[in-house]
């Protein structure tokens, strides 16, 4: 199974918002720097996630992106479908029915269903808990400290 770069970047982006952001908006540039994703590409992905209702944006000073709902309510399946469309792992069927009748094409719907179920059971909060468990570093407060 191979996920497209766009899907991986979308997962990295929402993970970063959930793991590092909390309630405060995070600028796209900060996410792209931490996750090493080109900022313009990350912005395009966040726009798709916003249209899908997974993130919201705030303009102006202190603006950025936040999750549109709690991480416990965002499924990895939601993220993937926001940037790639509905899941379907079945290959395009060929025109020559006689030639393809000997193939186990009946597998594709079942595999799609099973994989979709796993993605529908995996919340963003679960991913964050696992990251915390294995001690993935969190971003420290973005506010600069001034000492006099």
53-69: average pLDDT: 93
Closest by alpha carbon to 9, among 57, 79, 68? Answer: 79
Alpha carbon 25 to its chain's center: 17
* Residue 126 structure tokens: 């679960």
Give the confidence band of 23 by pLDDT, cuts at 50, 70, 90.
Answer: confident
Using one digit for the tens of pLDDT, what is the confidence trace for 72-128?
A: 999 999 999 999 988 876 666 555 555 556 778 888 888 888 888 899 999 999 999
What does the pLDDT read at residue 62? Answer: 83
8 A C-beta contact, residue 1 and residue 119: no
What does the pLDDT read at residue 94? Answer: 56
Provide the CB-side half-sphere exposure for 39 (13 A, CA): 6
> How distant, in Å, are the alpha carbons of 16, 99, 144 from that of 8?
12, 36, 31
Q: Which CATH number fits domain 5-86+123-133: 3.40.1180.10, 3.10.50.30, 1.10.10.10, 3.30.750.24?
A: 1.10.10.10
- To the question of pTM greater than 0.85 for the whole model, the response is no
Is the pLDDT reported for residue 144 higher than 60? no
- 132 by Cβ neighbours in 10 Å (0-12 / 13-18 / 19+) ranks as exposed
What does the pLDDT read at residue 148? Answer: 56
8 A C-beta contact, residue 46 and residue 28: yes
What does the pLDDT read at residue 103? Answer: 78
Domain positions in the chain: 5-86+123-133
Kindly report the CA angle at 87 between 128 and 36, in degrees rounded to 5? 45
What does the pLDDT read at residue 72? Answer: 96
Q: Return mean pLDDT, the chain.
A: 87
Is the pLDDT reported for residue 68 higher than 80? yes
Is the pLDDT reported for residue 34 higher than 80? yes
Closest by alpha carbon to 10, among 22, 28, 25, 109? Answer: 28
């Amino acid at each position: 199974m191979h996920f497209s770069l766009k899907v991986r970047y979308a997962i990295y982006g929402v993970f970063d918002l959930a793991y590092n952001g909390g309630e405060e908006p995070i600028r796209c540039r900060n996410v792209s720097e931490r996750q090493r994703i080109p900022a313009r590409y990350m912005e395009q992905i966040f726009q798709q996630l916003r249209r899908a209702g997974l993130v919201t944006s705030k303009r102006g000073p202190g603006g950025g992106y936040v999750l549109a709902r709690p991480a416990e309510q965002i499924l990895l399946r939601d993220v993937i479908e926001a940037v790639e469309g509905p899941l379907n792992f079945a290959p395009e069927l060929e025109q020559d029915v006689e030639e393809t009748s000997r193939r186990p094409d009946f597998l594709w719907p079942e595999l799609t269903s099973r994989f979709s179920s796993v993605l529908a059971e995996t919340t963003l909060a679960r991913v964050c808990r696992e990251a915390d468990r294995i001690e993935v570093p969190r971003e420290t407060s973005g506010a600069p400290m001034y000492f006099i």
